[in-house]
Structure 1
């Protein structure tokens, strides 16, 4: 039977897991695998594991119970090992790394921030500020066959969009960094020019949330800030 892994803790971590169900239907009983001074909270893995709502909720419930009592390394949904012996072997092999990471995450939670900017507002700013964009734009409007100039205009606008988004992202991160312990900056998406995870000490959570709110107000209505959390610190494990 393969082993489903929920989280790693130190061996002295409270394990108040009564009444908490594992993944699967019926729910698999929880147990622990220990190696040296580390402990993995595990269960049998279902034969067919999918990201169903019930199983994802069960996975998160186990982690939330553990995090309520101290530091743990939450594993992402779906992590399965061959058996308990192999899980114990990994705990031994990665002992120093896991122990260091447990110390780094103590008393912290993850917050994930996504930021978008209204595209039309950004384009208006580029046209207003960039004389070459205005020149090419006027020229191609008057000359429908100016294909090379149209390509040049498109490339210039793309460069300006990237530069302004990169600048805004760097500025936002610099303003929020003092309230966070660590930052894991993700790749921008087509929709979000900023998608970043912040590791925040629990006693700084209100300060961090206020910093995000202040920055959103400073940026104005053309920016949309979406803050998710507190979450298990998946991005920092």
Structure 2
């Protein structure tokens, strides 16, 4: 049977997992694969592993328990390998890399921020501040312009939205980077203009969260900032 790998920790991590179980139905039993410097928390991997709620919850519970007792390198849900010996071989082969990353994550948690602006509010802002957009819009509304004007206005607004969102993303990042050890941006989806993870020292969490709240107030009601955390540092492994 293949092995499901949850996390990598230092060998002296307490790994207090006795009351937890792993993925699968029935739930698998957690165990540890050790090398000299590192340990990996693993279990047998079910053959029909899928991202079901119970399995996602079991995976996350392991990360949170380990995180509460020390530094952890959390693996994404669904990582499997051949057997315990394959896990041990990787721990030995990449001991320097994993140890350096554990040091980098020590005393930290991840916070993930997504940000969006109300589309209608941004459009009103563009029409209010751009003479060109306002002129095109007035021509379209009055019927005095040609048939190509709506397309021209749409393309101009699209370019302006992209430019403004880039500036807004930079403003949010500049406002919060000083409170974090590292940050990693990812491609925003939907109406979001920013998707970013911050690695925040636990002693600095209150200041970071406070800065995010202040930034949300400064931006105003037209903006939607969603902050999740503290989380296992998936984005920084």
- TM-score of the superposed pair, with normalisation by structure 1: 0.96
Alignment RMSD (CA, Å):
1.3
Aligned to 1:45: 45
**Is 1:207 aligned to residue 207 of structure 2?**
yes
Aligned to 2:229: 229
Q: Which runs of 4+ in 1 moved over 3 A?
A: 142-145
User: Structure 2 CA distance, aligned partners of 1:221 and 1:105?
Assistant: 34
User: Structure 1 CA distance, aligned partners of 2:83 and 2:111?
Assistant: 33
Aligned to 1:133: 133
| 2:2–2:83 Cα contact (<8 Å) kept | yes
What is the deviation of 1:8?
0.2
| Runs of at least 5 residues in structure 1 that lack an aligned partner in the other structure | none
Aligned to 1:3: 3
Aligned to 1:194: 194
User: Structure 2 CA distance, aligned partners of 1:16 and 1:152?
Assistant: 62
What is the deviation of 1:83?
1.3
User: Structure 1 CA distance, aligned partners of 2:224 and 2:99?
Assistant: 38
More displaced, 88-97 or 51-60? 88-97
Corresponding residue SS for 2:42: strand
User: Structure 1 CA distance, aligned partners of 2:2 and 2:145?
Assistant: 65
Aligned to 1:23: 23
| 2:139–2:145 Cα contact (<8 Å) kept | no
